[in-house]
Chains A and B, each alone.
Chain A
Amino acid sequence: MILVSCPWCGPRNSSEFRYVGESKGRPDPNAATPEEWRRYLYVKSNPADWATETWYHRAGCRRFFAVERHTVTNEIRETRRPAAQLRLEGGGS
């Protein structure tokens, strides 16, 4: 069991969360071609390295956040609120 630290609730067992996947920029749905949209949906970088991911605190505050995790060791070096959340709260970047 790995320990994931929710930016709102603190450290919890990973079983409380849902792994959403690698974070990546979403193309504009109105401007993207079907091919671009499918690439966004399906193609991942799948690194054996540090990855920036989105996790969801399913059995807790039910919020999404960003996680920096190494996919070979499963070490987590940072969790933080997603950029969009920080903008909403008027803090951060």
Chain B
Amino acid sequence: MADQPSGTGHPAGNAPAPNAPAPNAPAPKPTVRANGSSGKARYPAKYSALSLFTHGLRGRDWPRMWRRHEMRPSYDVVIIGAGVHGLATAYYLAANWGVTNVAVLDKGYLGGGGSGRNTAIVRANYLTPEGVRFYDRSVKLYENLAADLNFNVMYSQRGHLTLAHNDSSLRTMRWRAEVNKLEGVDSEVIGPDEIKELVPYMDTSENTRYPILGALYHPPGGIIRHDAVNWGYARGADIRGVHIHQETEVVGIDVEAGKVTGVQTSRGRIATPVVVNCTAGWASLISDMAGVKMPIITHPLQAAVTEPVKVFLNAVVVSGTLHVYVSQTDRGELVFGASTDPYASYSTRGSLEFTEELAGHILELMPSISKMRVLRQWAGLCDITPDFSPIMGVTPVEGFLADVGWGTYGFKAGPVAGESMAELIATGVTPELIASFDLARFAEGRLVGEKGAAAVGH
């Protein structure tokens, strides 16, 4: 009896989805544990230092962060994809607009796409005024997210450095700094001496292969705990009545006379007048089902993490020229990323050439970490658009909405995209903040070019 696994999940754990029940699992029976306490716990839990303390004293289990529901035959809104975008859209629909008859469907588990695989960099130092305003709103929402969700998302605004190793990238950095300042975003170009002060372990000498000429320094940029963001939004949406259906694959979208009427899933049909496509790397497959063509190419993006060491790196460092970026987590691991794999693919296999290239380039920046060992590497799918800006809002099919084109940079946009999409769904009016990211811009030649700020630095 003592070692019997309890049926309830714990709010923090290493498994990707701590509360994802096995398919068709029977409802968990309350179990009696060694200390005699019942596994049943009241939902929802309020997280605080006091509740942590009393739970510790009583040996009580925490309730699940989100529940499992029967699928209804119809919903007011169906969101495809339980990544940060789908979950944030559901959360803001319920929290800001009181729209709660909402389902979020995912063919796999919650956060199993890019939202659980990214390197969690959050920043607003983009290149276009439209982009800077949009991502800055997300930074603001992230700053208050832990309080909003009653969930620690571990947002650390430790500063973000984009290195320039040649004149042309230094020019782009100056351009970005000026656009940022005009939009009220803290960014400035700094020289090698200041860089050395911020990152003492970086080789800023002049006799390297690609000497560092300067950097765009963006103090509010930083990293966040991506799983916590996904789980926090899921929990917040669930508390307000949203249904999250994992292991529910969308296989078709019903369109009649130019309007969405429902979705076909692996668990049956759902009638709905509104479908939101939040499927990132799979976005064009879903929009094909509705007959909407998307200018998207899916590329894998890889990342890697080392064994943990004492904290020595306090900023996020990106080098476009060397195709590499690095940050250190609170646990001490170095997290590395690079550019996307060089050909379109839906495969999430890692490759040796990625790690080889990455290691070579990172050592040009920080030769002293040559003895550190890589623990693991992984890949996720990225939906790349021609201008490196997202595709948001209405499509030619009424009721079929897009929140896609997030490429290698969409995690940071989760809050602002969710907030904006929720407003669009609730009011029927496209918010000003996302108006220039519409699908029609490609046919009309109004691209929002962000390549200079988004190709390597995610």
Contacts and interface: CB of A to CB of B under 8 A. Distances in A.
Nearest to A67: B343
A30 interface: no
Given A1-B353, A48-B285, A74 B294 contact: no
Given A14-B342, A42-B386, A1 B352 contact: yes
B295 A72 contact: no
A21 B346 contact: no
Most buried by A among B295, B342, B343, B352: B343
Given A1-B353, A35-B443, A43 B294 contact: yes
A21 B347 contact: no
Contact of A72 (B284, B297, B346): B346
A19 B442 contact: no
Contact of A74 (B345, B386, B443, B445): B345
Contact of A43 (B295, B345, B353): B295
The B interface, classified by DSSP as helix, strand, loop or mixed, is loop
A35 B293 CA distance: 14
Contacts of B344: 19, 21-22, 46, 51, 53, 71
Given A18-B342, A73-B347, A38 B445 contact: yes
A34 interface: yes
Interface string B270-288: 0000000000001011000
B351 interface: yes
A38 B386 CA distance: 11
A44 interface: yes
A88 B306 CA distance: 53
Interface in A45-73: 45-46, 48, 51, 53, 71-73
Interface size range of chain B in the complex: 20 to 34
A41 B295 CA distance: 9
B248 interface: no
B343 A14 contact: yes
Contact of A42 (B282, B343, B346, B442): B442
Interface of A: 1, 14-15, 18-19, 21-22, 34-35, 38-39, 41-46, 48, 51, 53, 71-74
Given A46-B297, A46-B344, 13 more contacts: A19-B343, A35-B443, A38-B445, A39-B442, A42-B386, A42-B442, A44-B296, A46-B294, A46-B298, A48-B346, A71-B298, A71-B344, A71-B347
